[in-house]
Amino acid sequence: MCTGKCSRFIGIALYPLSIISILSNILLFFPGWKTGYIKNPKVLMTPEVIFLGGIIGGGILVLIPAIHIQATGRQGCCSNRCGMFLSIIFAAIGVAGSLYGFVVSVVGMVKGPQCLSLKTLHWERPFETSLKDFNDKNYLFHKDLWGWCLAPENVVEFNIILFSLIIASTAVSLILCTVQMINGLFGCLCGTCRNKEQ
């Protein structure tokens, strides 16, 4: 496949992935589909939601590179060796953003949601464990423990689904941006195939 066509495919594929990350992170601000929790985010929100891994990492830092990467696949000012070199830099930004979104979301999912705990009747993270203590006793593998969260309603499922969407979209973005770095290197050395098509 031509390096220009590959860039165009990667750029187009990154758009929906970044939108999924952004929307998922925005929805995490409204656990249980309620708007009241955003009024006091430091007490009622999981810190990983506030870190904006989906909005900044998997969203903006992937969306901006996607625009340039797609432009290198079209005829015009970016479809040349210089444009392919710049696509390597933009793809590296996408890798960094995807990695940030991925790590923040994994930590958020492993530590569990912030909720009104049945154990203490206070807002806390009843399932919180560190990544090194993650094992088969984690709440993710024991649905019967999810009832420990009294409010917001169904917050555990809410967090798992939305953090999983961010994890999946940032993982695919990470792979595509890495492929584009390699593709951009070949395009920088060998050209974008546009001359051969003409």
Q: What pLDDT, in 10s, does the model give residues 106-165?
A: 999 988 888 888 888 888 888 887 667 777 778 888 888 888 888 888 889 999 999 999
What pLDDT shows up at residue 169?
A: 96
Q: Using 50, 70 and 90 to split pLDDT, how confident is the model at 196?
A: very low
Q: Using 50, 70 and 90 to split pLDDT, how confident is the model at 19?
A: very high
Name the residue with higher pLDDT: 186 or 174. 174
**Cβ 102 vs Cβ 50: under 8 Å:** no
Kindly tell me the burial class for residue 144, based on how many C-beta atoms sit within 10 Å of its own C-beta (0-12, 13-18, 19 or more): exposed
Question: What is the C-alpha separation between 115 and 169, in angstroms, rounded?
Answer: 26
Least confident of 15-24, 31-40, 112-121: 31-40
Per-residue pLDDT, averaged over 155-183, amounts to 94
What pLDDT shows up at residue 4?
A: 73
- Percent pLDDT > 70 in the chain is 88
pTM of the model: 0.87
The full 3-state SS of 86-109, as one line of letters, equals: HHHHHHHHHHHHHHHHHHHHHHHH
What pLDDT shows up at residue 75?
A: 63
What pLDDT shows up at residue 198?
A: 43
Q: Using 50, 70 and 90 to split pLDDT, how confident is the model at 61?
A: very high
